[in-house]
Amino acid sequence: MQVDLHSSWWIREVEIPTRLVLAPMAGVSVQAFRRQGRRYGAGLVCSEMVSCAGLHHGNEKTLGYLRIASDERPLAVQIFGSEPEVMAEAARMVEDAGADLVDVNFGCPVKKVTKTGAGATLLEDPARACAVVAAVAKAVDVPVTVKMRRGIENGSRSCLELGPRLVEAGAASLTLHPRSARQMYTGEADHALTAELVSLVDVPVIASGDVTSRPRAQAILATTGAAAVMVGRAAQGNPWALREIVDGDSDEPSREEVVAELVLFIRETARELGERRATGFLKKFYGWYLSRGRFPRPFKQELVQLESLDEVEQRLFAAAPGAVEALEHLEAELPSGEDDVILDLPISIYGGG
């Protein structure tokens, strides 16, 4: 059975216009990435995870201020932590800033997060996990969602025990990445587990993991009964993957299209993070955009070694002169930015789940 990926669905009162969700990814999901995702078909986009402890103490090193623009909504802001009261405080700040959803991270497998009792650790502490969700849901009026893995250990089924309890505690939607925390990103996502979770809860479930193509997305939706699929790594430097999944448009972008999107991403990221921070932050994106046979490998290495973003732009335009006109069209379609809401929350510097 083919699922209409353009059909809308709901997380309580929030309407999501397509069945594709852009994953929250640490060190990736800045506003430029989210806005691009919406342009290419993502119905819901997510911030990278934000430390509730950092908000509470005011001492988290920031990568910049998170902005909410009209063209990226609906938007979920993801928070992580293990203390219900502090998580509730963070959720109120997120809601006051104008986010459409508050997402709670119970999936991050990175040690810097799990050693604090947050992230995937909470999959093995159901009482505390439920207390966190209950506190957050009580603190805000917007829907609360939860992103989780299957459990800590390989073969774990903790998510099936915890999922229904989180819904009882106030979760309006669940996202399952059916790998264990120990697996990190190795092996395959076990979406038979996703189907089991769907059968156990009466809220929308988003299927995350190994969503790399339209046929794969259709198969996961058809076999699990999930409301939507979440795409993460496949979209890094490759928004055309989102277009292929939603529209079935498998045409490879031209060199001019690739350069135009990358330069727009560079400019938008510099606007958000500032030139100095953006210069280092963007280096990993060059390889993502320019790989897949689009440009020779030495070209990426050349860009990484350039000292300023202006030099990077000049070198990109020299490689694809027609990108100048393509970029003008892209920028003309963007909102002015005057309606952006400044969300004064530090973006986490930790790894993602």
Catalytic residue among 46, 52, 108, 130: 108
Residue 349 neighbours by CB under 8 Å, 6+ apart? 26, 27, 60, 61, 63
How far apart are the C-alpha atoms of 230 and 103, rounded to whole Å?
14
How far apart are the C-alpha atoms of 99 and 114, rounded to whole Å?
26
Query: 222, 238 in Cβ contact below 8 A?
Result: no
Q: How many helices (H) and strands (E) does the chain have?
A: 15, 13
Query: 353, 110 in Cβ contact below 8 A?
Result: yes
Residue 299 neighbours by CB under 8 Å, 6+ apart? 290, 319
- Tokens for 303? 């860009």
How far apart are the C-alpha atoms of 232 and 185, rounded to whole Å?
11
Q: Which of 169, 124, 125, 120 is nearest to 149 (CA)?
A: 120
Query: 99, 342 in Cβ contact below 8 A?
Result: no
How far apart are the C-alpha atoms of 127 and 28, rounded to whole Å?
32
- Tokens for 294? 């689009």
- Tokens for 285? 């994106």
Query: 173, 145 in Cβ contact below 8 A?
Result: yes
337: left (phi over 0), alpha (psi -120 to 50) or beta: left
Angle between helices 158-169 and 191-200 in degrees, nearest 10 = 40
Query: Is residue 108 annotated as a catalytic residue, yes or no?
Result: yes
Query: 261, 239 in Cβ contact below 8 A?
Result: yes
**Residues that are catalytic:** 108
